[in-house]
């Protein structure tokens, strides 16, 4: 068996046994908006802290349309405590652009996603992979460590 195939089977087996499937953003038919909210909130923030923020946030702003209408004053109580407030400002601006330019749908093109305020390579890849089922690898520090240790020793 090729090393790559073995690796894939091992990773999927590990996830089946140990993966955090209870997370609110780990669900079937997740929207691009929900992926985006979770990924922005998870940047440099522990998963355990994000869960309650995420749940409250999507309850208050269930769609990108709802978020695009919010002012900073309406938005802030649902984001306060996560830090990195430029991320929050970018979220508001990004929501407005998605509604105005893309009629409320996050683009399915990686460069178009990266061109949105606050979206980088990783978040664009996560949206494409998780929401649109595209064959796109969202590479972060953790996955780079796993690949490096497995393939490079």
Catalytically annotated residues: 39
72 close to 92: Cβ distance less than 8 angstroms:
yes
Determine the Cα–Cα distance for residues 87 and 141; give it in Å rounded to an integer.
19
Residues 6+ apart with CB under 8 A from 119: 36, 94, 113, 127
Specify burial of residue 106 (Cβ count, 10 A radius: 0-12, 13-18, 19+): buried
Determine the Cα–Cα distance for residues 116 and 111; give it in Å rounded to an integer.
9
């Amino acid at each position: 068996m090729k090393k790559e195939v073995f690796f894939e089977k091992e990773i999927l087996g590990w996830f089946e046994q140990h993966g955090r499937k209870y997370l609110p953003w780990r669900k079937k038919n997740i929207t691009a908006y929900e992926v985006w909210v979770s990924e922005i909130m998870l940047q440099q923030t522990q998963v355990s802290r994000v869960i309650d923020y995420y749940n409250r946030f999507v309850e208050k702003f269930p769609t990108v349309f709802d978020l695009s209408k919010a002012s900073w004053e309406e938005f802030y109580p649902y984001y306060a405590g996560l830090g990195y407030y430029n991320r929050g400002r970018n979220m508001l601006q990004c929501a407005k652009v998605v509604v105005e330019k893309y009629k409320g749908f996050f683009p399915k093109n990686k460069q178009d996603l990266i061109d949105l305020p606050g979206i980088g390579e990783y978040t664009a890849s996560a949206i494409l992979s998780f929401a649109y089922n595209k064959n796109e690898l969202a590479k972060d520090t953790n996955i780079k460590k796993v690949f490096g240790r497995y393939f490079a020793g």
